[in-house]
Amino acid sequence: MTKSISSPNSSSNAPLFNPLRLGDLTLAHRVVLAPLTRMRSTQPGDIPNALNATYYAQRATPGGLLISEATQISLEGKGYPVTPGIYSEEQIAGWRIVTDAVHAKGGYLFAQLWHVGRISHSSLHPQQGLPVSASAIAPADGKALTAAFQQVEFETPRALALEELPRIVADYVHAARCAQAAGFDGVEIHSANGYLPDQFLEDGVNHRTDVYGGAIENRARLLLEVVDAVVSVWGPGRVGVRLSPWGKFNSMNDSNPLALFTYVLQQLSARSIAYAHLVEPRANGGADGALDASAPDAAASFRKAFPSALISAGGYLGDTASKAIASGHADAIAFGRWFISNPDLPRRLQLGVELNPYDRSTFYGGTEKGYTDYPALDEILSPTLA
């Protein structure tokens, strides 16, 4: 366990608890559950289950927004073992248990739609063969995780042919419709952290010479086609997009990220989507998750390009989250690790009380340990405070 920390006093966190209009929804507060891969679906079939429902319901609050863990839109889009999908009838039924549990607590739940592209391994989808990407370039760093949880070298992906890209868009549409059938309140398109849409966006990976490569407008084409198609299912007020400008995770880089992501966010703004969700660049991969003071502030850098609801994620605590909102750079803050270990995180931030420490060893895979067994305030405080 890491050392527990004390949250700043409740008055300094006040900006987090003002209502927010986000697309078609009105949020009661601005503390958002970030999408967090937990690898606890039922096998075979990558099906959500009752334990997952307990986890999300524990973190639901009236009028609060939760974003689901990354959820593959197809078997081809799967990149890790035991992650859930959103493309089969069984998965729809499993997610319905989860959404019903969240709605019973008065919360909102968006499904994060995920295609990992090259960050995969053929053992996860043996019938489909090699992972796919914008270009046949393997990640330079890290390891792939096989279906048996073994770390191995990344395979060189297969570059998607031009005629295959309508199928990719269709897979997003199918997943979006499945999310509606499962009772979600909206969807977030995962175009961050080096997954497939990001692989098309950034020229460190996209070396294509067709209409999906080269100029920024071409590299953004696939993402915007996906957004337009998903908006046709949900309407713009129920669709968000996650991006990671300056992100290096999964061996990503671009020659001009400011120009690239300014263009993308301007295009998203013109489509009146519910929100943009930006991942702040990290100082390192260390346990503290601190932000790099020398790295650009993504929310501040792109605020003018996307004046609508903007969610920022990355290493925030109560005081820094409130400052980001008070500055106008962000409208809501997504919390990850601290929301894992504090199922009642909004309440704790509002009261300014100590946070439970988190246990990294239980983040991925396993049972209820490190998943649904973190105590809420009611279990640890005196009756007068609880």
Q: Which two tokens stand for residue 271?
A: 């489509």
Residue 242: phi and psi, rounded to 5, are -105, 135
The DSSP result for 280-301, as a single string, is PPBS-S-TT--B-TTS--HHHH
* Across 314-333, average pLDDT: 94
pLDDT tier at 3 (50, 70, 90 boundaries)? very low
Task: Report the phi/psi class of residue 381: left, alpha or beta, with left for phi > 0 and alpha for psi in -120 to 50.
Answer: beta
Rounded to whole angstroms, how far apart are CA atoms 383 and 9? Answer: 20
Q: Which residue is catalytic, options 56, 108, 172, 195? A: 195
Q: What is the pLDDT of residue 379?
A: 85
> Is 87 an active-site residue?
no
- For residue 223, give every residue at least 6 positions away whose Cβ sits within 8 Å of its Cβ, in sequence order, or none: 189, 191, 197, 200, 201, 241, 264
Q: What is the pLDDT of residue 243?
A: 98
The DSSP result for 74-86, as a single string, is SSTT--STT--BS
Write the CA distances from 88 to 75, 166, 351, integer angstroms: 10, 20, 42
Q: What is the pLDDT of residue 68?
A: 99
pLDDT digits (tens, 9 = 90+) for 82-119: 999 999 999 999 999 999 999 999 999 999 999 999 99
Helices and strands in the chain, H and E counts:
12, 16
The 3-state DSSP class for residue 349 equals helix
Nearest-CA neighbor of 265 among 308, 231, 321?
308
Give me the chain's average pLDDT, please.
93
Q: What is the pLDDT of residue 13?
A: 86
pLDDT over 80 (residue 282): no
pLDDT over 50 (residue 241): yes
What is the DSSP secondary structure assignment for residue 47, as one 8-state letter?
Answer: B
* Alpha-helical regions (H) of the chain: 50-58, 89-104, 165-181, 196-201, 216-219, 221-234, 257-270, 298-302, 318-326, 337-341, 345-351, 377-380
How much of the chain, in percent, has pLDDT values that exceed 90?
A: 89
pLDDT digits (tens, 9 = 90+) for 165-204: 999 999 999 999 999 999 999 999 999 999 999 999 999 9
* Across 66-87, average pLDDT: 98
Domain boundaries, the chain: 5-380
* Across 43-50, average pLDDT: 98
pLDDT tier at 7 (50, 70, 90 boundaries)? low
**For strand 25-27 and strand 20-22, is the pairing parallel, antiparallel, or unpaired?**
antiparallel
Q: Which two tokens stand for residue 58?
A: 């524990």
Task: Please report how the helices 89-104 and 50-58 are oriented relative to each other, as an axis angle in degrees rounded to 10.
Answer: 30
Q: What is the pLDDT of residue 12?
A: 74
pLDDT over 80 (residue 20): yes
Q: What is the pLDDT of residue 71?
A: 98
28, 61 in Cβ contact below 8 A? yes
2 or 312, which is more confident?
Answer: 312
Rounded to whole angstroms, how far apart are CA atoms 309 and 316? Answer: 18
pLDDT over 80 (residue 294): no
Diameter of the chain by CA atoms?
66
Task: Please report how the helices 221-234 and 165-181 are oriented relative to each other, as an axis angle in degrees rounded to 10.
Answer: 30
CA torsion 324-330-334-338 (nearest 10°) is: 0
The DSSP result for 134-179, as a single string, is SSS---SSS-EE-TTS-EEPPPPPEEPPGGGHHHHHHHHHHHHHHH
pLDDT tier at 293 (50, 70, 90 boundaries)? low
pLDDT over 90 (residue 11): no
Nearest-CA neighbor of 114 among 79, 141, 81?
79
Rounded to whole angstroms, how far apart are CA atoms 295 and 279? Answer: 12
pLDDT over 60 (residue 283): no
CATH of domain 5-380: 3.20.20.70
Rounded to whole angstroms, how far apart are CA atoms 300 and 368? Answer: 38
**For strand 332-335 and strand 310-313, is the pairing parallel, antiparallel, or unpaired?**
parallel
pLDDT over 70 (residue 292): no
